[in-house]
């Protein structure tokens, strides 16, 4: 890969030799061993939110984190939810003119199974080849903890912070954050803030600091096709009774045109293209499409004509079949003309597509193309709005400067094809600009055995966040 | 329904007032009560071939049938197969100039479950509203037994038969006739014959004697589409990785054109249209398409444009999806981009389509339309040739005259959309013309609770078969 492009030439007015203030940098150097020991203590607690046998560990992790926040100089409370508690750390002494930043993270982790695939026990953290290896190292304990340490650096070195800070650490991210929306709604006033910062994602590549600026939404449907009242013998009735499985395939085959564009009328009407400069920068990212093809093991990649792979993944909506079921699916042959056929179909959405409007368009399209002889229903099972960051403003500017200070180079802007539901909840309830600033790396096995976080990124992440508080204070 | 059309004006030279010879007719009248008692004895034996707990009943049924054949004047042997035995009855005293007829039937029956849906116990035969109600009444004990009685009528009334007769009664028809092909191949010389007669099907409608003249064959495929090596997250990869479920749907959607014709190139090349007169007669059959639609419970019927329902079912080949499976098919939503997708697809074939050639055409078509980015395989799981009777010759002529004598009206020619595998085996091994002369009726619940046979058809069936021996002797 060549050198990534300068992002929108942001740094014309910026001295790229600048780095984190010496007093803050010195704190991280001086306390490096202790910081790592503390992180390892945190990682040793098997806070698996999905497993009831780890309930005591969840409590222990919350208490450990609250203690760590207090040691850093925050006040900290463990607040109940309908499920695992939230740890809320606060420091609000920056004064009435200062901005308030809310940091979101989570202290729960994925189950570690299958244990036999780990090269070292998942809850015995170890440093191996510059990697912190443990369940939760990158998702999200390491990334949450570096925020606490960046706060501590300011308070230890200077006795103060340039911004007010709220750290909201939940314990249910890995099980769907079912209680978070209600919690932040209930605590709306206390959580009021000017900016929101989340470190729970990955950089584009090693050495390339990244701002995650877009998430796709989703509109998830079940399409059911009913033909005859019951299964029929395909010999006795085949040819005269409309086959619902074939009808379903013919319906689904109308979802795309020959260029791989979604062919549902009106589907692209609300799509807001990326700004030309952003699109140009996206196209210039040094992305190895052949490597992706090898990684997924497909004979070729595909998708919408005239778009790069990253555009297809981050900037363009999709229509996918997630499941198909009809008739006989066991071994061998059964001559059944099925009574019904079912498909799970989901559209990934980009701003400003609306799941409710997409449902209307999908239902109208299916009704239009459905053949006679079958009854077709379309049900939306799940909807989530897409999200895109504004690529300007004080938070964005502070982030790119902070990242440049920590990593010695300008950040790139990335997107994400999936959703991070908490972003939608925070956006909707708190209404503050959101910055997704992740320090993970591709291939870090976040939900798999041998999860790791680059120690370099952990350290530079602390630098970047400490710099971010400075930048936001100066903004 | 109006009066069915005269079949090809066969009877211009035939006195329609003619009926079965008085001595034979008198036999059936005189012995009516005994014949029914014997049939009921046969029906009382629960010869369920599928259930091992009925093994002794199978033996008992074979022995009962052999005894009944001997009482009628045949010799009879119970011959072993790899499964349930064959009962072979023979009478070969018609002399060297006489023709030899092989009658095929089966003495095994379907399981009777669910028993609670029977209005009377399945193995306690009863006469109700002119119907003989019992498991096996029409499929096939009743229809097999009327052949034995027709032979008995000749031998009792005249001491001789105008043809040599072999009765081959198997005990595994309801479990797939797995051992029959090997049996008839091994016994090929002993089973050599001029004609084959099978009564194991239904008439077109009450009062309308029917000759079943065509069976469709089958080419049954499994189509597997492989995309990425493993399931992927549809958010992270959707839009850039070709979705194998969508690819499968797009492939299957190419199987038909807008007129409902199979669009696989070359698919119709070997199709031999019915003779114009036969097609005209088929179209003139009084078939209620709306009744079929109501029976199957579909909102509308469909199929190939320009063809009647009966043509679509009997005279035209099809391509049907029998099963679909891909990705997530459980409750709710899962955002998976599936690694693979599978379809069971079968083509019903008509003469002279060949399952092997259809496999070649199917594989070539799928390879041609398969999108890039997936690997597609086509495997034939099962193939069976179509069959069509010659609608002329001594056997056909004898049958239409015999049916006219018994039913007082000319027969119609019908087809069958499914297959009767034994027909293919008998055709291939013995090479004699086959006559499918059934006395069942639509709706007789052959494989369902409350199976019945019309007693009128049972009696007229004996007349027709007794007349058939006469006609074949005179031919």
Q: Is residue A375 part of a domain?
A: yes
* Cβ contact, residue pair A220, B335, below 8 Å: yes
Q: Is the separation of the CB atoms in B376 and B354 below 8 Å?
A: no
Question: Could you report the per-residue pLDDT of B367-395, keeping only the tens digit for each?
Answer: 999 999 999 999 999 898 999 998 889 99
Buried b (16+ CB within 10 A) or exposed e, B33-50: eebbebbbebbbbbbbbe
Residue numbers in B near A326 (CB within 8 A): 321, 323-324
Question: Could you report the per-residue pLDDT of B193-209, keeping only the tens digit for each?
Answer: 999 999 999 999 999 99
- A412 closest CA partner among A213, A199, A143: A213
Q: Is the separation of the CB atoms in B174 and B106 below 8 Å?
A: yes
**Distances in whole angstroms, Cα of residue B80 to Cα of each of B85, B170, B176, B189, B400:** 4, 10, 17, 17, 36
Does the annotation count A37 as an active-site position?
no
Say which of A255, A303, A373 has its CB closest to residue B240. A303
Q: Is B303 left (phi over 0), alpha (psi -120 to 50) or beta?
A: left
The neighbouring-strand residues paired with B48 are B109
Chain A residue with Cα closest to B244: A321
Q: Which domain holds residue B360?
A: 217-271+317-384
Q: Is residue A35 part of a domain?
A: yes
CB pairs under 8 A between A and B: 285
Same domain for B366 and B397: no
Is residue A129 exposed (0-12), middle (13-18) or buried (19+ Cβ within 10 Å)?
exposed
Chain A residue with Cα closest to B228: A298
DSSP of A193-226, one letter per residue? -SEEEE--SB-SBTTB-EEEEEE-EEEEEEEEEE
- The CATH code of the domain that includes A186 is 3.40.630.10
**Distances in whole angstroms, Cα of residue B44 to Cα of each of A93, B60, B231, B453:** 95, 11, 56, 15
- B72 closest CA partner among B469, B473, B475, B471: B469
Taking the CA of residue B370 and the nearest CA in chain A, the distance in Å comes to: 12
B18 Cβ under 8 Å from any chain A Cβ: no
Q: Is the separation of the CB atoms in B358 and A276 below 8 Å?
A: no
B312: Cα separation from own chain's centroid: 17
Same domain for B252 and B190: no
Q: Is residue A296 part of a domain?
A: no
Question: Could you report the per-residue pLDDT of B208-249, keeping only the tens digit for each?
Answer: 999 999 999 999 999 999 999 999 999 999 999 999 999 999
Say which of A232, A253, A344 has its CB closest to residue B250. A253
Domain count, chain B: 2
Residues 110-149 of B with CB under 8 A from A: none
Strands A232-233 and A336-337: antiparallel
Taking the CA of residue A115 and the nearest CA in chain B, the distance in Å comes to: 21
Residue numbers in A near B243 (CB within 8 A): 320-321
Helix, strand, or coil here: B230?
coil
Same domain for B210 and B62: yes
Q: Phi and psi at residue A147, in whole multiples of 5°? A: -70, -45
B379 Cβ under 8 Å from any chain A Cβ: no
Digitized pLDDT (tens) for each residue of chain A, 475 residues in all? 334 444 444 555 667 778 999 999 999 999 999 999 999 999 999 999 999 999 999 999 999 999 999 999 999 999 999 999 999 999 999 998 999 999 999 999 999 989 999 999 999 999 999 999 999 999 999 999 999 999 999 999 999 999 999 999 999 999 889 899 999 999 999 999 999 999 999 999 999 999 999 999 999 999 999 999 999 999 999 999 999 999 999 999 999 999 999 999 999 999 999 888 888 888 889 899 999 999 999 999 999 999 999 999 999 999 999 999 999 999 998 889 999 999 999 999 999 999 999 999 999 999 999 999 999 999 999 898 899 998 889 999 999 999 999 999 989 999 999 888 889 899 999 999 999 999 999 989 888 999 999 999 999 999 999 999 999 998 7
Residues 232-251 of A with CB under 8 A from B: 232-243, 245-246, 248-250
B460 Cβ under 8 Å from any chain A Cβ: no
Same domain for A162 and A72: yes
**pTM for this model (two decimals):** 0.88
- Calpha distance B404→B18 (Å, rounded): 8
Same domain for A404 and A326: no
Out of A354, A384, A414, pick the residue that ends a domain.
A384
Residue numbers in A near B325 (CB within 8 A): 324-325, 329
Residue numbers in A near B240 (CB within 8 A): 292, 301-303, 309, 312-313
H helices within A315-393, ranges in order?
Answer: 355-369
Chain B residue with Cα closest to A257: B250
Catalytic residues of B: 108, 173
Residue numbers in B near A414 (CB within 8 A): none
Same domain for A105 and A236: no
* Cβ contact, residue pair B253, A255, below 8 Å: no
Q: Is residue A294 part of a domain?
A: no
Token pair recorded at residue B475: 């031919």
Q: Is residue A295 part of a domain?
A: no
Out of A368, A384, A400, pick the residue that ends a domain.
A384
Q: What is the ipTM of this complex?
A: 0.88
A336 Cβ under 8 Å from any chain B Cβ: yes
B107 Cβ under 8 Å from any chain A Cβ: no
Q: Is residue B36 part of a domain?
A: yes
């Amino acid at each position: 890969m060549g050198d990534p492009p300068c992002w929108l030439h942001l740094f014309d007015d910026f001295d790229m030799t600048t780095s984190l203030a010496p007093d803050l940098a010195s704190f991280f150097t001086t306390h490096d061993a202790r910081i790592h020991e503390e992180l390892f203590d945190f990682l040793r607690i098997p806070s698996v939110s999905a497993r009831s046998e780890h309930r005591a560990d969840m409590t222990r992790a919350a208490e450990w984190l609250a203690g760590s926040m207090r040691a850093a100089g925050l006040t900290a409370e463990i607040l109940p939810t309908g499920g695992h508690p939230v740890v809320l750390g606060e420091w609000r002494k920056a004064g009435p003119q200062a901005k308030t930043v809310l940091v979101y993270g989570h202290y729960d982790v994925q189950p570690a199974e299958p244990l036999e695939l780990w090269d070292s026990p998942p809850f015995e953290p170890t440093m191996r080849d510059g990697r912190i290896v443990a369940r939760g190292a990158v998702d999200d304990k390491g990334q949450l903890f570096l925020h606490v340490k960046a706060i501590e650096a300011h308070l230890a070195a200077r006795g103060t912070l340039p911004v007010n800070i709220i750290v909201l650490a939940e314990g249910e991210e890995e099980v769907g954050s079912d209680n978070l929306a209600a919690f932040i709604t209930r605590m709306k006033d206390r959580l009021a803030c000017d900016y929101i910062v989340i470190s729970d994602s990955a950089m584009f590549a090693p050495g390339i600091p990244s701002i995650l600026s877009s998430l796709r939404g989703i509109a998830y449907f079940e399409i059911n096709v009913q033909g005859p009242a019951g299964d029929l013998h395909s010999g006795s009735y085949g040819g005269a009774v409309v086959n619902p499985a074939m009808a379903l395939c013919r319906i689904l085959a109308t979802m795309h045109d020959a260029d791989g564009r979604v062919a549902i009328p009106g589907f692209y009407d609300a799509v807001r293209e990326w700004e030309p400069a952003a699109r140009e920068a996206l196209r210039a990212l040094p992305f190895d499409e052949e490597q992706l093809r090898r990684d997924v093991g497909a004979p070729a990649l595909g998708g919408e004509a005239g778009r790069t792979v990253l555009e297809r993944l981050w900037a363009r909506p999709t229509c996918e079949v997630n499941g198909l079921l009809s008739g006989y699916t066991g071994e061998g042959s059964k001559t059944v003309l099925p009574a019904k056929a079912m498909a799970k179909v989901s559209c990934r959405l980009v701003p400003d597509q609306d799941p409710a409007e997409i449902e209307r368009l999908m239902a109208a399209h299916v009704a239009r193309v459905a053949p006679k002889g079958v009854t077709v229903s379309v049900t939306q099972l799940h909807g989530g709005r897409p999200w895109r960051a504004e690529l300007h403003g004080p938070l964005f500017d502070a982030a790119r400067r902070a990242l440049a200070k920590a990593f010695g180079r300008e950040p790139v802007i990335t997107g994400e094809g999936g959703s991070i539901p908490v972003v939608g909840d925070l956006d909707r309830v708190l209404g503050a600009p959101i910055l997704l600033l992740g320090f993970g790396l591709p291939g870090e096995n976040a939900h798999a055995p041998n999860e790791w976080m680059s120690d370099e990124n952990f350290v530079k992440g602390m630098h970047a966040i400490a710099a971010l508080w400075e930048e936001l204070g100066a903004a």
